[in-house]
Structures are given as structure tokens and as C-alpha cells.
Structure 1
Amino acid sequence: MHKSLKEEQQLLQLQAEALRLKLLTNQLRRQQENAGAGLLDLASQLPKAGLVWRLANKPRKLRSKLLLGAGLLAVLYLRF
């Protein structure tokens, strides 16, 4: 192969490798950001006022069961 063609091929391979590494770092960064989103971040996305209002209007017995279920789900989520 001609010397300039070999150099061009090597340059293209290096550029491809650099692009691959850049994509990989961006993917890892996105995964870390998503993993950092905890329960508080998820809770902040919920329409809080509507949920609280609906829960407050439920009968006492049902409201207690719903709160107990939500607490158990939170414990399971945090444990696993």
C-alpha cells in the first residue's frame, strides 16, 4: 500500500476509535445520571397536590391501608 494511504487509513482508524470512546463516555455519563435519580427525584415528579387531595378524601380505613401499602412498597424498594 502507498505510504500516504496507510497514513490516511491509520488516521481514520484513530478518528473512529476516538468517536467510539466519546460515545461510550456519554453513555456511561447518562447511566450514572439515571442511577443517581433516587426516590426523592421520582417523588418530585409526581403530581403531589392531586395525590394528597385524593388520599385525604378517602375513607379512614382505606386511607390507612393505602398508607401502609405505600410504606411497605417504599421499604421493599429501598431494600432491593
Structure 2
Amino acid sequence: MLMAGPYPEFLKDRVSGPWGHLNNQQTATLLSVIDQQRIQQLVIGHISDKNNTIDKVRTAVEPVIANSGNLYYACQQQGFDWLELS
């Protein structure tokens, strides 16, 4: 998805490098192995209209999330509101 996107090569290299972003599958894998009972709020970011759409992210992460009641998506245009943690 990243490599086929409209971004310049230097940005693709940074994002896909060892200090770049997790891809959707890496995020799903991480969520599947952590203790989700301790998660108060979960915000999934790096969603855009050009490349990583919210539908692609949902398809990857929602099957591995135990409780999606406190799940939020931070889209490029809207962001998200303040969230309260206890």
C-alpha cells in the first residue's frame, strides 16, 4: 500500500524503515499479544484519504480487539477529541 501510494521516495523510505510507522498488520499483531484489559482508550492513527483508509484499518484491527467500545480512529482531517483516562 505504501509503496504504491503517491508519496515521494524519501518519505516512503522513512515510513517503512526501522523507525517508521507500524503497518496495519503489525498493529493487529501487537494488539493480539498484549493484555487488552488494561487499555482504557485506544486511538488508531495514520489514517488518510489517499492511502490508509479507515476501512483498511478496521479490517486489520477490529478482529483482534476484545472490546471495541473505547476504540477511536484519528483520521487525517478530523483528528479526535480529548479522551479522559482514569
Shorter-chain-normalised TM-score: which range?
under 0.3
Larger Rg: 1
TM-score, normalised to structure 2's length? 0.25
**Which structure has more strand as a fraction of its residues?**
2
